[in-house]
Structure 1
Amino acid sequence: MSTPRTDRPRQVTAEELRRRGWRGRLVVLGPAFVAAVAYVDPGNFATNFSAGAGYGYLLIWVIVVANLMAMLIQSLSAKLGIVTGKNLPEMCREHMPRWGSRLMWVQAELVAIATDLAEVIGGAVALHLLFGLPLFVGGLITGVIAFGLLGLQSRGHRPFERAIVFLLAIILVGLVSTLFRTDVDAGALAAGLVPGFAGIDSLMLATGILGATVMPHVIYLHSALTQRRLEPRSMADTRFLLRAGRTDIMLGMGLAGLVNLSMLIVAAALFAGTDVPATDTLEGIFAGLAAQLDVVAAYGFAIALLASGFASSGVGTYAGQVIMAGFLRRRIPLLLRRLLTLAPALVVLGVGIDPTQALVLSQVVLSFGIPFALAPLVWLTARRPVMGELVNHRLTTATATAVTAVVVALNGVLLWQTATGG
């Protein structure tokens, strides 16, 4: 009588994948697609559609620039996790005084809560548009679905990543399918790639697009998604993982950029120069798509928004786990973490605060957290004692520093505009 085998399948090594060439790189894909969710969250839906409705194709170049910035920043975060085997919160705890690490944790937790506020509201609005559910009920459903997504982590990183990629595919199909059915002005689209503005209001909207592009929670998370994913046994292995990570980022962030461009182009083609009302709200966009194109386009938008709310809420809670474990070396049960970040969103929905206003408020809170994530990331990846021979090239550090300064300045403008009512 034979005895059953109890050994687990052997995990493939980085060296084996390296020897497979481009096929090996495909196996490493995944982390950037999870990070890409932050760039197509419900806040981006409202901002990009508003830009297209208000100024046509004028601000297409802003989305392109924002996407290039995202690629650079996420590549540094992924690099930190691959080279050091530790994530950004862990590295901050190691290289900062205790009081500084605790302050970083506090602001990062506020960022996690603000992130979940936007994502849950987006999911709730989508469920209301699709099925007429009350916003509070929709928020509860979004929270439960996100919790279910996080439960996939117990089976390893692959099931969670596959679920996120599936939701990203839904977002892409829901928006790009409408783009192909829209009469796009190719000449105006090409002209929109040339930087330019049409007055102070367009400058402010461009500031909003750029400033809201970099989400601090996903900077923390991406470094955690790449750490110890595959243990490099040599410098050649590490360099292979870095190359594979760059491919991952190009594909994942490229997908996010395509989604954002689709939103703006559709809005420019259907709403710009028309009297369609309330195109700066999610509900108004839904109604406008139905009026200007058809119900299929409207429901495609709502389904994409729903997938965005589900995926981004799950990713946001995942980031909250990484933040607490990294800064404090403590973990709390996943259900408690989900409830803590979900509660503020349910309160907002329960008391009847306007969802669009709540989304704007969440972006303001996120703006405060951006420099706390970006500055340490650039500083750490530019330090030879941390990164060894894989330390950033001087040009990379200079570019990343300039991007950090631009993002921080733009978010400062947004904060000032919000505070003064400008």
Structure 2
Amino acid sequence: MTTARLAPSPPRSRRSSVRLLGPAFVAAIAYVDPGNLVTNVTAGAEFGTALLWVVVLATLVAGPVQYLAAKLGATTGLTLPQLVAKRCSPPWRVAYWLQAEAVAIATDVAEVIGAAFAMYLLFGVPLPVGGVVAAVVGGAMLAAGDRLGERFLQGVALVSLCAIGGAFLFCLTYRTPPLHALGTGMVPTLPGDGALYLAAGIVGATIMPHAIHVHSALAQTHQRLRAHRADVFLAMLFAGSINAAMVVVGAGALHGLSGDDFGDIARGLSERVGGAAQTAFLVALLVSGLTSTAVGTQSGEVVMSGLMRRRMPRSLRRLITVAPAVALLAAGVSPVGALIMSQVVLAIGLPLVLIPLGLLTSSRRVMGEHVNSLAVKAGLGAAIAAVTLLDAALLLEQFFP
């Protein structure tokens, strides 16, 4: 018995297809969250443009992965967690749920911390208070989306992407690396100690497990795969360009700057570029933190309802998120190091979502005529192998230096 429900349909007008654009832009907000911002800017500050190739390659992998998540949801009418639950025994289902929840919560905590520091540096809001405000705003956006419909969240996501992209474009107009440095940055290399760690962070920040879960849910009501392809292409092009700009800004304006605090990055921009660049950076950090925290919460809801067939009150989920974030803020945790570490953790957990996604979308019983082609299977297998090897190399480096 097949799970696939998507049947061939007559062509739609271009205007009608455009109306289906949007789900990928909501998921793409996770691709420009504070974790991305900090990891990419730090990579540029420490190694110039040498890790730019990692951002480009990770984005080229993330696009097809997000499309497969959308295809899975649109074809089956089920989310990735729901399909995993159907094929797992209760103990394995619980284990998968625990790791997926941990990823969603850890990501959400990082986003709350990023927004809290932006509010502190922009407006002098105490860090714990900023953490609470960020959590409340994220919950309010989801509540507004429930009331006003998915187009509201898609509109917020698009406006946020434009604001973040505009901020980094503004910084780029003042100070950029020479063109030959951009070219050499596309040559695969890992220059020096710490490069592998940052490369893993970039991969985890770009191909994010919780964004895959969310996208499979967002795509359930949109059944035109052509529209999904266009949606993912545009969203990943936009998000990937912003991530590349983050590295270039770090390489041009902050190269050689050492520091483990958002204040150090902001001061570096102010001293080397100007106060306007500092403000632009902090606004991008604030917008990315406030909007992406809603995606983190949404991911937790998708995971829990799909795997455990239960729902946690959103207020309780927000409390679970904000409590550790506020505790870390009150304890004076080093924010940049903590956020980069969270992205590395995402990279380590990435195979746990890529493998079931690949198996399900490669199953004719599940996907029917929309099953992955041999080329897609090979490409996804290569991506999973590459991420797994990266994780193994990182763990070996950390435990057996």
Q: TM-score range by the shorter chain?
A: over 0.9
Give the TM-score taking structure 1 as reference length: 0.88
Change (3 A) 1:163 1:68: same
Aligned match of 2:289 in 277, 293, 309?
Answer: 309
Deviation at 1:247, TM superposition (A): 0.7
The equivalent residue for 2:3 is none
What's the CA shift string for 1:235-257, capped at 9, x where partnerless? xxxxxx11111111111111111
Does 1:43 find its partner at 2:35?
A: yes
Does 1:140 find its partner at 2:120?
A: no
Aligned match of 2:172 in 156, 160, 179?
Answer: 179
1:72 maps to amino acid:
P
Does 1:251 find its partner at 2:243?
A: no
Q: Distance in 2 between matches of 1:106 and 1:298?
A: 39
Does 1:319 find its partner at 2:299?
A: yes
Change (3 A) 1:416 1:141: farther
Does 1:56 find its partner at 2:53?
A: no
Structure 2 residue matching 1:28: 3-state secondary structure: coil
Does 1:398 find its partner at 2:378?
A: yes
Does 1:164 find its partner at 2:157?
A: yes
- For the 8 Å contact 1:78–1:226, the answer to whether it is kept is yes
Q: Distance in 2 between matches of 1:407 and 1:52?
A: 22
1:175 maps to amino acid:
F
Q: Distance in 2 between matches of 1:250 and 1:342?
A: 33
Greater mean alpha carbon deviation, residues 52-61 or residues 300-309: 52-61
Q: Distance in 2 between matches of 1:204 and 1:345?
A: 23
Q: Distance in 1 between matches of 2:84 and 2:35?
A: 28
What's the CA shift string for 1:350-387, capped at 9, x where partnerless? 22222223324433443443222111000100011000
Deviation at 1:210, TM superposition (A): 2.4
The equivalent residue for 1:350 is 330
Greater mean alpha carbon deviation, residues 78-87 or residues 199-208: 199-208
Q: Distance in 1 between matches of 2:326 and 2:397?
A: 27
Change (3 A) 1:327 1:167: same
Size of the alignment, in residue pairs? 393
1:78 maps to amino acid:
A
The equivalent residue for 2:209 is 216
* Percent of residue pairs bearing the same amino acid type: 44
The equivalent residue for 1:268 is 251
Larger radius of gyration: 1
The equivalent residue for 2:5 is none
Q: Distance in 2 between matches of 1:115 and 1:415?
A: 20
What's the CA shift string for 1:20-76, capped at 9, x where partnerless? 1x2222111111111111211111112111221122222221111011011121111
Aligned match of 2:362 in 379, 382, 403?
Answer: 382
1:334 maps to amino acid:
R
Structure 1 residue matching 2:350: 3-state secondary structure: helix
Deviation at 1:138, TM superposition (A): 0.9
Aligned match of 1:333 in 289, 313, 316?
Answer: 313
Q: Distance in 2 between matches of 1:357 and 1:269?
A: 21
Change (3 A) 1:197 1:109: closer
Q: Distance in 1 between matches of 2:207 and 2:268?
A: 28
Q: Distance in 1 between matches of 2:170 and 2:137?
A: 25
Q: Distance in 2 between matches of 1:406 and 1:415?
A: 14
Deviation at 1:182, TM superposition (A): 2.2
Change (3 A) 1:364 1:206: closer
Structure 2 residue matching 1:19: 3-state secondary structure: coil
1:335 maps to amino acid:
S
Q: Distance in 2 between matches of 1:379 and 1:123?
A: 37
RMSD: 1.9
Deviation at 1:398, TM superposition (A): 1.2
Does 1:294 find its partner at 2:274?
A: yes
Q: Distance in 2 between matches of 1:72 and 1:145?
A: 31
Does 1:242 find its partner at 2:225?
A: yes
Deviation at 1:308, TM superposition (A): 0.6
Q: Distance in 2 between matches of 1:419 and 1:345?
A: 28
Greater mean alpha carbon deviation, residues 163-172 or residues 288-297: 163-172
Deviation at 1:185, TM superposition (A): 1.1
Give the TM-score taking structure 2 as reference length: 0.93
Greater mean alpha carbon deviation, residues 352-361 or residues 112-121: 352-361
Q: Distance in 2 between matches of 1:149 and 1:267?
A: 31
